[in-house]
Structure 1
């Protein structure tokens, strides 16, 4: 297949080329296909193009859509994603398209609040970003076993940053739009929108007639109000998702959460208690009165959050939940948190580091 430069415009012609590439890969690739979906514009574009390819080829291949629900996603975005999934399931049935939707979630012991309030982890910083592995990377890995040959479709695009372009080039292969997955040779990354501009992406979503489940108007409004999305498969060394992205509403890696702030300014007042809690947690993290003076391994340095600090954090979180009327923490998390508190209260080694105050 030859790529025609004039096919770059209009977007319908560029999409026709992409759909043709995807269709050929779909029929030739014996691997299972997994689409990494975050709810944002890029992954939505990939999803739309793949589903259109499935509709046209009438392939009986089952494609799995994977979404990572960290438990602390911005509620509006999370609600939008689940609405898309509910509608998409019915829409695909009408066209006999085989898709299965899987939601990856962190293990109970790895959730944000169990780690912070239960174990006493300080909320993430740029130097101690423990959240990425536990909330995003590990849950996805659990769905993609190391010994399984799969093709993962991602909404990766060139031109977003010099660092991103360098990484893309480094992991390119001879296959069209195919890239190597770091650390797992059984995974082939397929990025059909690698050459799309931001405008191409929005034009695709605006003019796509299928699937209707991806609501261009709703998604566009979310972007106008907040910013961009956090990738479903996150690079642990990449920039934090809280800066101009649909990331975790609890993110304290960045100084300010621009996404939630902008959403509140656009009238989503029920998010204000969440932002208030997040801003308080950002300051509380480095408050020496809230931290043990030794680490759990008894080495000197700021250690875990004290039990009293953790009790205060849970109290403030439940207050935010009550005021916002948004479910922020599950009962299972609270039960495990209380078990971990009890364990620390009965641990001589922990009581030793807490008494260092």
Structure 2
């Protein structure tokens, strides 16, 4: 048995089989591999297994692209952890001469959360109008993957996580239990070596593999204790929001009450307090008819975008939260774009607030 330093038990047989499977699939073809990484337990376990598989391969014929999507509104505590981990993983993978490339992708400027809400007047997302997931999280990842004619996406999806997840896996399953179809696309295959892993298996993988040492199961465990689960980094289904039991966007208004950030504040993440207050204020402000146009952008009557007055109020509140929290919540070039979009509306004869 292979033992790792500072571990309580040997690497499991399930991990050995998963590593062997990854090695076998790696050699099958030249299709580029992309691994969706969020910093959560499942994607971390998957990355751990891939890392160990690559260590055992003497000659590598293709790169593994690790993709993390920085939406710009990730919970800062989690975002900082992920970026620090990626920096350490780059050093460690270079040490082993592994063909791993790390990509931190961001949404297009005009798709950024605050550019949409404050610049264009988009109402913060709801279950009915949940515009955020595609623009902030899915499209940036696809912009990398779709550059290839054909590709394989590695995802840490598992049976038994939830009834909705099980339904999705069964809907898109293939002749191989480790592969899923990506909707109707023939360009992309989804490969999940941990599809039959239990929650216990995931934590065992993180705890009992010596490499990569950059992934610390105790830190991940503390984040989960403080917050909750992670949002997906690649689209699996259109129907499931990432608003329940997650760590993701601190601005999330898909749910009425953000228990994740509230829990993190309770557990000592005091810098998030101003963000939590802003988010709670925003969810009420969103539904205030006083600050919504009564004409839509297409000219039809009905609840339209947030008025310019309303958008200015949101920006002031955001900048106040940024100052009080001492956290960078909005980039300078986003503010510049917001001002540009305000001018567009001011000078547009078709834009009407009433």
Query: TM-score with structure 1 length normalisation?
Result: 0.94
Equivalent residues in 2 for 1:1-357, closer than 5 Å: 12-60=12-60, 61-145=62-146, 148-235=149-236, 237-350=238-351, 353-354=352-353, 356=354
Task: Say which SS state the counterpart of residue 186 (structure 1) adopts.
Answer: strand
SS at match of 1:212: coil
Report how many aligned residue pairs link the two structures.
345
Q: What's the secondary structure of 1:103's corresponding residue? A: strand
Structure 1 gaps of 5+ residues are 1-8
User: Contact between 2:121 and 2:306, CA under 8 Å: does it hold in 1?
Assistant: yes
TM-aligned CA deviation for residue 174 of structure 1: 1.9
Relative to structure 1, the CA distance from residue 23 to residue 191 in structure 2 (aligned partners, 3 Å threshold; closer, same or farther) is same
User: Measured at CA, do residues 59 and 246 of structure 1 come closer, stay the same or move farther in structure 2, by a change above 3 Å?
Assistant: farther
Q: Deviations over 1:266-314 (max 9, x none)?
A: 0111000000000011000010011011111121211100000000000
Can you give the 5+ residue segments of structure 2 that lack an aligned partner in the other structure? Answer: 1-8
**8 A contact 1:159–1:165 mirrored in 2:** yes
Instruction: State whether residues 291 and 302 of structure 1, in contact with CA within 8 Å, keep that contact through their aligned partners in structure 2.
Output: yes
Q: TM-score, normalised by structure 2?
A: 0.95
Q: Secondary structure of 1:193's match? A: coil
The answer on whether the counterparts of 1:132 and 1:236 sit within 8 Å (CA) in structure 2 is no
Shift of the 171–294 alpha-carbon distance from structure 1 to 2, 3 Å rule, reads same
Runs of 4+ deviating beyond 4 Å: none
Contact 1:46 1:192 in 2 (8 A): yes
Tell me if the contact between 1:242 and 1:258 (Cα under 8 Å) persists in the aligned partners. no
Q: CA deviation at 1:336?
A: 0.5
Instruction: Give the superposed CA RMSD.
Output: 1.4
d(CA) in 1 for partners of 2:101, 2:147? 20
When residues 210 and 176 of structure 1 are mapped into structure 2, their CA distance, relative to the original with a 3 A threshold, is same
Contact 2:168–2:237 (8 Å) recurs in 1: no
